[in-house]
Amino acid sequence: MDKVWESAADAVADLRDGASLAVGGFGLSGVPNTLIAAVLEQGSDGLSVVSNNCGAMESGLAVLLSAGRISRVTGSYIGANKEFARQYLAGELEVELIPQGTLAERLRAGGCGIPAFYTPAGVGTQVADGGLPWRYDGDGGVALASPPKEIREFDGVGHVLEHGIRTDFALVRAARGDRHGNLVFNKSARNFNPLAAMAGRITVAEVEELVEPGVLDPDSVHLPGIFVQRVVALTPEQAADKKIEQRTVRV
């Protein structure tokens, strides 16, 4: 099946208000900037986003955040995104912070059809006991806090029950992909993109290099096409649009 769509705008045209999105990327690496820009142009509002972080430097998800289009973020890292922190503390944004490994496993579990799993990460903290501020009231108080989670003991060690994540859409970026949706990621861009792609009911992948079926070595494919419903081939200019969060030089 040829899964290639003519444009990013066409590929996200049916994304509705209030939709949930799993978005790939690790820092500013492997971020689906072209698809995010298409969502911004499309106009969907009240989005619930699941991503490791929410962009920075007016790049990635930061453009949707700054436009007030995101109502909830599930992630593990606020980082240097001052607008993210401002909206959260002002009570404009609901935020569920999750240990990074737990977030990765919740996305993978959702994609594999696993409804829930137990992990020792977070036991003895507010992650398990509840009380983490999900939304502030704008005056320093907590308007909505996380609920307590089920704890069960295995081999004398406490484990907390975490639920798999499924989203309406997933937006990811790959270095190479074919018309059947098989994807290959580049280095650290592989950290969250395959997991986000697995969690989406409709997964849209922007690819820097589109190849014909059979070109990719099956043993090199990081994500099989069964998890991808739509493919968008980037232009050379779009493929070259890569930001650097912390530029360092060696003397």
Q: What tens digit of pLDDT does each residue of 35-58 get?
A: 999 999 999 999 999 999 998 878
Task: Give the C-alpha separation, 87 to 95, whole Å.
Answer: 10
* Cα-trace Rg, the chain: 18
pLDDT at 251: 67
CA distances from 124 to 58, 144, 164, 233 (A): 36, 20, 21, 46
Angle formed at CA 70 by CA 64 and CA 75, multiple of 5 degrees? 100
Considering only 11-15, 61-65, 215-219, 242-246, which range has the smallest mean pLDDT?
Answer: 242-246
pLDDT at 223: 98
| Summary mean pLDDT of the chain | 95
pLDDT tier, 232 (very low <50, low <70, confident <90, very high otherwise): very high
- What are the respective helix, strand and coil percentages of the chain, to the nearest 5? 25, 30, 45
Question: Residue 36: what are its φ and ψ, rounded to 5°?
Answer: -65, -40
DSSP strand pairing (200-211 vs 167-178): parallel
More confident residue, 159 or 56: 159
Is pLDDT at 109 greater than 80 in this prediction?
Answer: yes
How remote is the C-alpha of 123 from its chain's centroid? 24
Angle formed at CA 185 by CA 200 and CA 165, multiple of 5 degrees? 25
Domains and CATH numbers, the chain: 4-115+164-239 (3.40.1080.10)
pLDDT at 79: 78
Nearest to 8 by CA among 33, 44, 43, 45: 33
DSSP strand pairing (200-211 vs 70-75): unpaired
> What mean pLDDT comes out for the span 186-212?
97
Nearest to 195 by CA among 119, 109, 120: 109
Beta bridge partners of 75: 97
Beta bridge partners of 50: 22, 74
